[in-house]
Amino acid sequence: MKRRILPALLAALGALLTPLVALPAGAYAAAAVPIRVDAGGPALTDGSGNSWSADKAYASGGWGYDTLYGSGSTAGSIAGTSDDSLYQRYDLFSGWSGYRFDVADGTYQVTLKMVEDWANGPGQRRFDVRAEGTTVLSAFDVYASCGPMTACDRTFTTTVSDGQLNVQFNMNGGANYATVSAISVTAGSGGGGADTTPPSAPGGLRVTGTTTSSAGLAWDPATDNVGVTGYRVYRGGVLVATVTGTSFTDGGLASGTAYTYTVRAVDAAGNLSAAGGSVTGTTSTGGGGGDGGGGGRLLGYFTEWGVYGRQYFVKNVETSGSAAKLGYINYAFGNVTNGRCAIGDAYADYDMAYTAANSVDGKADTWDAGVLRGSFGQLRKLKALHPGLKILWSFGGWTWSGGFTQAAADPAAFADSCYALVEDPRWADVFDGIDIDWEYPNACGLSCDGSGAAAFRNLMSALRARFGANYLITAAITADGTAGGKIDAADYAGAAQYVNWYNVMTYDYFGAWAATGPTAPHSPLTSYSGIPAAGFYADAAIQRLKGKGVPAGKLLLGIGFYGRGWTGVTQSAPGGTATGPAPGTYEAGIEDYKVLKNSCPATGTVAGTAYARCGANWWSYDTPGTIAGKMSYAKNQGLGGSFFWELSGDTGNGELVTAMRNGLG
């Protein structure tokens, strides 16, 4: 995502913005209409002789903006108008801020004048517009609707019953605020003078071709009593683009995946047609080919708490060489509490001051106002070195999954809270999406959830609806391949249409929580003779998910950068008895790969993973050799790639990340 403009101004505004006190209906003095406002500019007269007032803040009995998120101007010429000066200045809004007009009760026609001088492509700025609480423009994209540096007007009719007309704006995707160059309010005629007739539904929707990561669409033109100005394209019910022509190519898709589309027409007044018929296209499959899609996605988790005892910083991702090999990093974790997304550790996240020695760019953090410190600031620096690297904020995890039950009771409110946190202006440029690690929906983890099989699907649907099509939305999910197990407890297949991919946690099948054994590999790829539990291996989970209809291209195979072990073991092969968990650096029964490769080198393999017995201790873990085999499996199964938990377990030169990257291609 692109950085917000005017960061210093926004930081200062954050401490000053307070809501205006609501007054009862009829408490406003009435301003006379027509009202024409040159947003962000001075008074002027347009080429038709209409007078436009200078912009101003709202005062009771008049009109004006309430909370201003910024303003700007452009010196470039504006296509589609002879009144360039009316479009060359603009105000910026979000958070349902906007304009208030104290007018008499009645029907009014509102016209917004806009221009896109910032985006260089569709999807980079999208916003919603409400008039009197009713959405009149949804995920509106000035660039997609009208093009760059082109006058873009939208007119709608609204009715006032409380003495105040409110026109409000809110971001809905992209990386910049809603933009308004001018706004006018004129008396309506109860519908007689304004265009309220929607266009006809576009017909003939068809798929014109697919690749491994895109689908081409075309449709027949719609008709309108005044004129069609654009078409809105929806994927799985979520708006992905607004175009002026009758064709569109949807990119960034997963290979071997079916996508369903509909199209609606819109006219100059913002009237929206019904959807025509739907069409489904399936992207083609292909060998892996980079982190943008196919089977080459490589993702690693960075833990919030690793900066303390482990002293593992974002800088280590760079110095190990891993940053250049990764396509994605999940930052773990944000909390889920009271059914809402919340900060996990504010100090580690955005307040810890980094010394030059620990900083990605070798520069120490300052205490200047508005400076982003902590891991968020370091991730920003890492992205500057690797512009193609995507960062997702992961919420939940084993410890913080208890809040998902309450979130499932109000998915829309949960999604709103997550969007507000991820898109906080202080760090919105850092994150490209959100990852949900719910352990486990409609099943038990540290706590038990009984929200029902549909709860997970509903939660992911709400997130996709709130974040829009241009954000990454993923989930870490169970790898329980048993009949009637955790995969069967939730509708992962139904939720697949809303996610970019699933991180299937194909590790931690066995461990020293069974203190006396039997010893068993914690991350078996396949079954083997003597496995303690049927269905507790990676291939069982992958096949069960595929069998339910989850596209293979949306499944990432999980790798653990650690081992699990027992002590009091006398047998080298799996299946031995034990007396308890083996000693570990930070926790009994678990140890980083970077330690085990030297302290207890692997002596054998089973089910596609390695094991070793060193004295009385028995460990299982993955090595570069077993990872190569697992990456071959991922490619042969047509999976979307692989991920791992977590970065600090690797060696200082990132040998496990290198093995994964080499194996995926």
- Which residues belong to the active site? 439
Token pair for 215 = 């689908």
Partners of residue 65 on adjacent β-strands: 57, 99
208 with 218: CB under 8 angstroms? yes
Residues 6+ apart with CB under 8 A from 21: none
* Angle of helix 455-467 versus helix 411-422 axis, rounded to 10: 40
CA dihedral 623, 626, 629, 630 (to 10 degrees): -80
Residue type, 84: D
Place of tokens 């407890």: 489
Q: Are 205 and 250 in contact (CB under 8 A)?
A: no
Round to whole Å and give the CA distance between 249 and 430.
27
Give me 304's structure tokens. Answer: 């919030």
Q: List residues bridging with 618 in a β-sheet.
A: 566, 613
Sheet holding 228-235, edge to edge: 238-243, 228-235, 258-267, 279-282
Evaluate whether 246 touches 231 at the Cβ level (below 8 Å).
yes
Report the alpha-carbon angle 179-180-181, nearest 5: 125
Buried b (16+ CB within 10 A) or exposed e, 213-235: bbbbbbbeebebeeebbbbbbbb
| Contact criterion met (CB below 8 Å) for 294 and 255 | yes
Q: What region, left, alpha or beta, does residue 137 occupy, with left being phi > 0 and alpha being psi -120 to 50 degrees?
A: beta
CB 440 within 8 A of CB 449: yes
Q: What are the Cα distances from residue 90, in Å, to 60, 146, 152, 415, 607?
A: 23, 17, 13, 30, 63
- How many of the other CB atoms lie within 10 Å of CB of 302? 25
Alpha-carbon distance 106 to 436, whole Å? 46
Closest CA to 408 of 449, 454, 455, 442: 455
Residue 293: alpha-carbon gap to chain centroid: 16
Q: Is the dihedral of CA 184, 190, 192, 195 positive or negative?
A: positive
Enter the tokens of residue 451: 């929200």
In 148-221, the DSSP E strands lie at: 152-160, 164-174, 178-180, 182-187, 206-210, 215-218
C-alpha–C-alpha distance, residues 176 and 123, integer Å: 10
